[in-house]
Structure 1
Amino acid sequence: MTRTTSLHARHVALGAAFTDFGGWSMPVRYTSDLAEHHAVRTAAGLFDISHMAEFEVAGADAAAFLDHALAGLVSVMRVGKAKYSLVLSESGGIVDDVIVYRLAEDRYLVVANAGNRHAVAAAFRERGAAFADASVDDLTDRYSLIAVQGPAAESILAATDGIAEVSVPWGEQGYYAWASARFAGEPLLVARTGYTGEDGFELLVRNAAAVPLWDALLAAGAPLGLVPAGLAARDTLRLEAGMPLYGHELSLDVQPAQAGLGRVAPLATKTADFVGRAALEAGPPAGAPVLVGLVGEGRRAGRAGYAVLDADGARVGEITSGALSPTLGRPVAMAFVAPAVAAPGAELSIDVRGTRIPATVTALPFYRRKK
Structure 2
Amino acid sequence: MAITPLFETPYERAGILLPGLPVLEPGVERHPVPAGGSRALPIEAGDEITVLDPEGLQCGELVLFGPDGRSDAAMLGTTGSGRPEGVISVLANGSPSGARVARALDAAGFKLGKADAVRVFDEGSRPGDMATFHASCDGLLIVAAPGGPMQPSAQDTPTDLILYIRRANRRNTKGGLLPPDPLADPIHDINIQPGEAHSYEVRKGQYIQILDVQGRECSDFQAFSMRALDKGLERDIDPTTTRSLMGSLYPQPGIFSKYWSVDQEPLVEIVQDTCGRHDTFGLACTARYYEDLGYPGHVNCSDNMNADLAQYGIRPRAGWPAINFFFNTMLDETNAIGMDDPWSRPGDFVLLRALTDLICVSTACPCDVDPANGWNPTDIQVRSYGATETFSRSIGYRKSAEAQVEDTKETGFHSRFAQHTRNFIEYNGYWLASDMTGKGALAEYWACREKAAVMDLSPLRKYEVTGPDAEALMQLCVTRNMKKLAVGQVVYTAMCYDHGGMIDDGTVFRLGQDNFRWIGGNDTSGLWLRQQAQERGMNAFVRNSTDQLHNIAVQGPLSREILSALIWTPPTQPTIDELEWFRFTIARIGDFDGIPLVVSRTGYSGELGYEVFCHPKHAPQVFDAIWAEGAPKGMLPLGLEALDMLRIESGLIFANAEFCDRTDPFEAGIGFAVPLKSKEDDFIGRTALENRKAHPQRKLVGLEIESGIVPSGGDCVRMGRAQIGEITSAMRSPILGKTIALARLDLPHTEPGTAVEVGQLDGQQKRLKATIVPFPHFDPTKERVKGNYD
Separation in 2, partners of 1:284, 1:158: 43
Separation in 1, partners of 2:693, 2:561: 45
Amino acid at match of 2:678: T
RMSD of the alignment, in Å? 1.6
1:64–1:223 Cα change, 3 Å: same
Give the secondary-structure state (helix, strand or coil) at the position aligned to 2:507.
strand
Give the secondary-structure state (helix, strand or coil) at the position aligned to 1:336.
strand
Task: Show CA shifts across 1:30-51 (max 9, x none).
Answer: 0211100011000011001101
Aligned to 2:641: 232
Cα displacement (A) at 1:346: 0.8
Separation in 2, partners of 1:23, 1:289: 32
Give the secondary-structure state (helix, strand or coil) at the position aligned to 1:38.
helix
2:469 equivalent to 1:61? yes
Give the secondary-structure state (helix, strand or coil) at the position aligned to 2:516.
strand
Task: Show CA shifts across 1:21-66 (max 9, x none).
Answer: 2222210100211100011000011001101111111122211110
Give the secondary-structure state (helix, strand or coil) at the position aligned to 1:256.
coil
Aligned to 1:19: 425
Task: Show CA shifts across 1:254-306 (max 9, x none).
Answer: 01121232221212221222111111122179673221110111311122011
Mapping 1:1-371, distance limit 5 Å: 1=396, 2-30=408-436, 31-113=439-521, 116-117=522-523, 119-129=524-534, 130=536, 132-160=538-566, 163-165=567-569, 167-183=573-589, 185-283=594-692, 288-310=697-719, 312-353=720-761, 354-368=765-779, 369-370=783-784, 371=788
On the 8 A contact 2:727/2:742 being kept in 1, the answer is: yes
Give the secondary-structure state (helix, strand or coil) at the position aligned to 2:654.
coil
Q: Give 5+ residue unaligned stretches, structure 2.
A: 1-395, 397-407
Task: Show CA shifts across 1:146-174 (max 9, x none).
Answer: 100001001010223xx323521232111
Separation in 2, partners of 1:285, 1:180: 42
Task: Show CA shifts across 1:230-260 (max 9, x none).
Answer: 0011101000000110111011010112123
Amino acid at match of 2:538: A
Give the secondary-structure state (helix, strand or coil) at the position aligned to 2:768.
strand
On the 8 A contact 2:564/2:577 being kept in 1, the answer is: no
Amino acid at match of 1:120: S
Name whichever of 184-193 and 96-105 sits farther off. Answer: 184-193
Separation in 2, partners of 1:16, 1:216: 22
Separation in 1, partners of 2:430, 2:616: 16
Aligned length: 365
Cα displacement (A) at 1:9: 2.1
Separation in 2, partners of 1:331, 1:349: 13
1:171–1:285 Cα change, 3 Å: closer
Separation in 1, partners of 2:441, 2:705: 21
Separation in 2, partners of 1:284, 1:83: 22
On the 8 A contact 1:87/1:120 being kept in 2, the answer is: yes
On the 8 A contact 1:255/1:284 being kept in 2, the answer is: no
1:224–1:90 Cα change, 3 Å: same
Give the secondary-structure state (helix, strand or coil) at the position aligned to 1:280.
helix
Name whichever of 287-296 and 191-200 sits farther off. Answer: 287-296
Separation in 2, partners of 1:280, 1:307: 26
Separation in 2, partners of 1:33, 1:355: 29
Give the secondary-structure state (helix, strand or coil) at the position aligned to 1:146.
strand
User: In proportion to residue count, which structure has more helix?
Assistant: 1
Task: Show CA shifts across 1:195-253 (max 9, x none).
Answer: 00001000111111111101111110012111000001110100000011011101101
Task: Show CA shifts across 1:130-151 (max 9, x none).
Answer: 3533221210011211100001
Amino acid at match of 1:227: L
Separation in 1, partners of 2:582, 2:476: 22
TM-score (norm 2): 0.45
Amino acid at match of 1:257: F
TM-score (norm 1): 0.94
On the 8 A contact 1:186/1:206 being kept in 2, the answer is: no
Separation in 2, partners of 1:358, 1:14: 39
On the 8 A contact 1:83/1:101 being kept in 2, the answer is: yes
Cα displacement (A) at 1:6: 1.6
Higher Rg:
2
Separation in 1, partners of 2:733, 2:624: 30
Amino acid at match of 1:358: K
Task: Show CA shifts across 1:288-343 (max 9, x none).
Answer: 32211101113111220111111x24221110100111211111111111111111
Amino acid at match of 2:723: R
Q: Give 5+ residue unaligned stretches, structure 1.
A: none
Give the secondary-structure state (helix, strand or coil) at the position aligned to 2:643.
helix
On the 8 A contact 1:287/1:338 being kept in 2, the answer is: no
Name whichever of 239-248 and 12-21 sits farther off. Answer: 12-21
1:97–1:25 Cα change, 3 Å: same
On the 8 A contact 2:413/2:456 being kept in 1, the answer is: yes
Amino acid at match of 1:209: H
Amino acid at match of 1:165: T
On the 8 A contact 1:56/1:108 being kept in 2, the answer is: yes
Amino acid at match of 2:725: G
Task: Show CA shifts across 1:335-369 (max 9, x none).
Answer: 11111111111111112445312111111100115
Cα displacement (A) at 1:15: 2.0
Amino acid at match of 2:455: F
Give the secondary-structure state (helix, strand or coil) at the position aligned to 2:483.
coil
Give the secondary-structure state (helix, strand or coil) at the position aligned to 1:247.
coil
Amino acid at match of 2:686: R
Separation in 1, partners of 2:703, 2:613: 35
On the 8 A contact 1:61/1:131 being kept in 2, the answer is: no
On the 8 A contact 1:302/1:322 being kept in 2, the answer is: yes
Task: Show CA shifts across 1:80-121 (max 9, x none).
Answer: 1110111111111000001011111221111011xx21x112
Identity %: 33
On the 8 A contact 1:300/1:352 being kept in 2, the answer is: no
On the 8 A contact 2:533/2:539 being kept in 1, the answer is: no
Name whichever of 17-26 and 235-244 sits farther off. Answer: 17-26
On the 8 A contact 2:731/2:740 being kept in 1, the answer is: yes
Identify the structure with bigger relative contact order (alpha carbons < 8 Å, sequence gap 6+).
Answer: 1
Separation in 2, partners of 1:14, 1:258: 38
Name whichever of 49-58 and 259-268 sits farther off. Answer: 259-268
Misfit runs of 4+, over 6 Å: none
Separation in 1, partners of 2:422, 2:756: 38
Give the secondary-structure state (helix, strand or coil) at the position aligned to 1:37.
helix
Separation in 1, partners of 2:690, 2:470: 25
